[in-house]
Amino acid sequence: MNSGPTSFHGRCHCGNLEVIVETRVSTDQLPVRACSCSFCRSHGARNTSGPNGSVKITVHDPGQLIRYRFGFKTADFLICGKCGIYVGAQMKVGDKAYATLNINSFDLVESFKQEPVKFSYDGETEAQRRARRSANWTPVVAFTEGIF
């Protein structure tokens, strides 16, 4: 474990959507997941999150943010309308928000060497899904106006 915070920067291809993740966990200790849903599979997503970190999400042109919802519609999957890159998903719970991030959009993507663990969340109820995400996703500490 690192002694101090580690920051990771990520963005979509054109830079419209940016994320800054802070964590005390090194890249080899962060979980890497590959969800088996058709959305994540079709995007080749490898997601990570951690409840002890934080993420700042910046949208430079909110008019180009696509918030895609499917299934239980409990989370917004954040896609850039300019370049089409999926950077992560966020879920709001009251006045808090949590995110999971697509490490393929990180500047340091090559530092995530572990194979993603494959998951299927098909059997979850809506309540179970919200509870899992609240417990395991990264708290969002700042976001551009208009994301929620």
pLDDT grade for 1, boundaries at 50, 70 and 90: very low
Residue 147 has pLDDT above 70, yes or no: no
Residue 89 has pLDDT above 60, yes or no: yes
Cβ–Cβ < 8 Å for 34, 114: no
Place of tokens 């989370």: 75
**Tens digit of each residue's pLDDT (9 = 90 or more) over 18-41:** 999 999 888 888 899 998 888 989
pLDDT grade for 2, boundaries at 50, 70 and 90: very low
Long-range contacts of 25-31 (CB under 8 A, 24+ apart): 25/1, 25/50, 25/52, 25/53, 26/1, 26/2, 27/108, 27/111, 27/112, 27/113, 28/111, 28/113, 28/114, 29/1, 30/112, 31/117
CB half-sphere exposure, 62, CA atoms < 13 A? 7
Q: Domains of the chain by range and CATH? A: 6-143 (2.170.150.70)
Q: How many whole angstroms from its chain centre is CA 5? A: 19
Per DSSP, which regions of 86-137 are E strands? 86-93, 96-102, 117-119
Angle at 67 between CA 82 and CA 90, to 5 degrees: 120
Name the pairing type of β-strands 138-143 and 96-102: antiparallel
Q: Tokens for 87?
A: 């950077």
Mean pLDDT of 96-106: 96
pTM: 0.89
